[in-house]
Amino acid sequence: MHALMIKVHLYGLAMLVPALVLLPALAVVVFGANSFDRGPLVQIAGIVLATAGFALGYACVLVLAVRGRGTACPTSPPRRLVVDGPYRYTRNPMDTGTIAMVFGIGLALGSLTYLGYAVVLTLALLLWVRYETTALEQTFGAAYRRYRLSTGRWIPRPQRQEGRSSWPRTSP
DSSP 118-138: HHHHHHHHHHHHHHHHHHHHH
pLDDT value at residue 1: 62
Dihedrals φ, ψ of 170, to 5°? -145, 165
For 115, the domain range is 2-150
DSSP state of 85: G
At residue 22, the 3 state secondary structure works out as helix
d(CA 109, CA 34): 11
How far from 44 is each of 47, 104, 105, 161, CA to CA, in Å? 5, 9, 10, 37
**39-70 b/e with 16+ CB inside 10 Å = b?**
eeeeeeebeebbeebbebbebbbbbbbbbbbb
Give the model's pLDDT for residue 160. Answer: 54
- 140 lies in some domain: yes
For residue 36, is it within any domain?
yes
Total domain count for the chain?
1
Residue 164 resides in a domain = no
What is the CB-side half-sphere exposure of residue 37 using CA atoms within 13 A?
0
Question: How far is residue 4's CA from residue 47's CA, in Å, rounded to a whole number?
Answer: 30
168 domain residue, yes or no: no
> Is residue 119 situated within a structural domain?
yes
List the chain residues with pLDDT less than 50: 161-172
pTM: 0.81
Cα–Cα distance, 79 to 1 (Å, whole number): 14
98, 57 Cβ separation under 8 angstroms: yes
- Report the pLDDT value the prediction gives residue 162, as an integer from 0 to 100: 46
Evaluate whether residue 19 is within a structural domain.
Answer: yes
Residue 162 lies in a domain: no
In a domain, 113, yes or no: yes
Output the pLDDT for position 142: 96
